[in-house]
Amino acid sequence: MRALPAACLPPSATVRVGFSGGLDSTVLLHWLKHTLPADAVLHAIHVHHGLQAEADTWATHCRVLCADWGIPLQIEQVRIADRSRNVEQQAREARYAAFERRLQAGDTLALAHHGDDVAETLLLRLMRGAGTEALGNMAERETRAGYHLWRPLLGFSRAELLAYAQAHALAWVEDASNADTGPDRNFLRQRVLPLLESRFGNVRARLNHSAALLREDADLLRPLLDDALVMCRSEAGLSLQPLRALTPALQGHVLRAWLQRAGHTAPGAEALREFLRQLAEHTPDDDTRLDGPGYRIALWAGELHLRPDADAADIAAFDQLWDGRTPLRLPRGGELAWAGEAPFPLRVRYRLGGERIRLPGRDMHHSVKKLLSERVPPWERAALPFVYNDDGELLAVGDVLVSAVLDDLSRRHGIRLRWHPAASPT
């Protein structure tokens, strides 16, 4: 086997290793301990997801090993809130968020990705219809907001890391879930890559070479994308008018780059193409949006806004009778309350579609969807409570839309319905 280099020069003096306790990160931590310059500072960060029954045992293993090696260890506990969605993606996002909480300005985050990871990621992203920049996937060195990302093992295979670990009598933990071919990455690792290897030979090296060429292509595209992003950026996100002035192909590249630089996974080609079609044909009352893992792109007032996905745990069946005596806390955040004495019980639910309301000074009922499209950004509409009387008449939508009936009642009795939305994410 090839030996790991006898010396290495990190991007900065303080290096924090993402340390799971598995083979790859154990090799990385051991190698850095013995090869970093004398003035370098080495720390380890273990992220405790709690997804496996052995998670506590793994954390203990990391603590003992780091104590033996004299390396300071920080353990970050995270929680995966919604296990009905892509758990692997959520775990990855939680892991990076945990790392960033521990990083200081200028620090280096060292990760144990190796050549097999590059090959697997390329195949995964091909299956999802990803673009050039995403297909190039992992670079050895990246500069992110406030820190450096370093992957010094990319030139080595997992087999070479295993040989290193055995030669140095290292101990590591094994995640039994890696044998489960349900997750896509495990399926590629256990089934697809061995089959390709039997047919073509040296397939991981071939895929790594293709990824490197795609990274070169992405580097050539980057100045063009940077200029296009500057032209399209607005205070809120991206401005629709200059985006639509670009060619369709460049529009897709700009959206992918915008998402990736915000730390999100870009959608596949088909989803992105459909979203661009909707942007080209949208009308003001359309709820034009693109949902991705953990985020949502919504169109409002001629601008694209990137928002956290607040609707992952939808509560469509909410329907509650409220006496109004105390504030009503709602499942999607925020609360309803009366300023003054509650006049009568109300029924509260979320939007079902097709609702109409008669506003003060109007003779006709109007579409709630149309009215909200003019007044409320799309990502805020799902949390608005719809308030009805016993006859099933819509009296209010939060306090954004108040019917003529409720307005008259409020004026006569000196009361007012108040809607206090949940605090906006920062």
Q: Residue 82 — pLDDT band, cuts 50, 70, 90?
A: low
| Residue 426, in any domain of the structure | no
- 373 and 302 in a single domain? The answer is no
Cα 386–chain centre separation: 30
Q: How far apart are CA 317 and CA 217, in angstroms?
A: 49
- 40 and 189 in a single domain? The answer is yes
Domain around 364: 319-420
Instruction: Report the pLDDT averaged over residues 386-411.
Output: 91
Q: How far apart are CA 302 and CA 260, in angstroms?
A: 22
Residue 426 pLDDT exceeds 60? no
Which of 308, 335, 355 is the endpoint of a domain? 308
Give the lowest-confidence range in 60-74, 84-98, 188-202, 377-391: 84-98
Contact 25, 173 (CB under 8 A): no
**In 70-131, where does DSSP find H-type helix?**
87-102, 115-127
- 334 and 360 in a single domain? The answer is yes
pLDDT of 118-140, one tens digit each?
A: 999 999 888 877 778 788 888 89
| Residue 219, in any domain of the structure | no
**What are 388's strand-pairing partners?**
347, 394
| Residue 216, in any domain of the structure | no
- 304 and 369 in a single domain? The answer is no
- 27 and 127 in a single domain? The answer is yes
pLDDT of 254-272, one tens digit each?
A: 998 888 788 777 777 777 8
Q: Which CATH number fits the domain that encloses residue 261?
A: 1.20.59
Q: Which CATH number fits the domain that encloses residue 130?
A: 3.40.50.620
Contact 44, 73 (CB under 8 A): yes
Instruction: Report the pLDDT averaged over residues 218-225.
Output: 90
User: Token pair of 338, please?
Assistant: 């009366």
Q: How far apart are CA 60 and CA 58, in angstroms?
A: 5
- 272 and 297 in a single domain? The answer is yes
- 297 and 332 in a single domain? The answer is no
- 106 and 152 in a single domain? The answer is yes
- 326 and 295 in a single domain? The answer is no
Give the lowest-confidence range in 110-114, 205-209, 364-368: 364-368
Q: Residue 4 — pLDDT band, cuts 50, 70, 90?
A: confident
Number of compact structural domains in the chain: 3
Q: How does DSSP classify residue 82?
A: -
Q: What percent of the chain has pLDDT over 90?
A: 50
| Residue 277, in any domain of the structure | yes
Cα–Cα distances (Å) from 402 to 7, 384, 407, 413, in that order, read 70, 12, 6, 15
Point out the annotated binding site for ATP: 20-25
Point out the annotated binding site: 20-25
Provide the pLDDT for residue 312: 41
- 251 and 329 in a single domain? The answer is no
Which of 184, 204, 224 is the endpoint of a domain? 204
Higher pLDDT: 281 or 263? It is: 281
| Residue 406, in any domain of the structure | yes
How many CB atoms are closer than 10 A to CB 360? 13
Residues 6+ apart with CB under 8 A from 315: 331, 332, 350
The total number of residues shown for the chain amounts to 426
Do the strands 14-18 and 238-239 form a parallel or antiparallel pair, or are they unpaired? Answer: unpaired
- 72 and 143 in a single domain? The answer is yes
Report, in this order, helix, strand and coil percent for the chain, each rounded to 5.
Answer: 40, 20, 40
| Residue 276, in any domain of the structure | yes
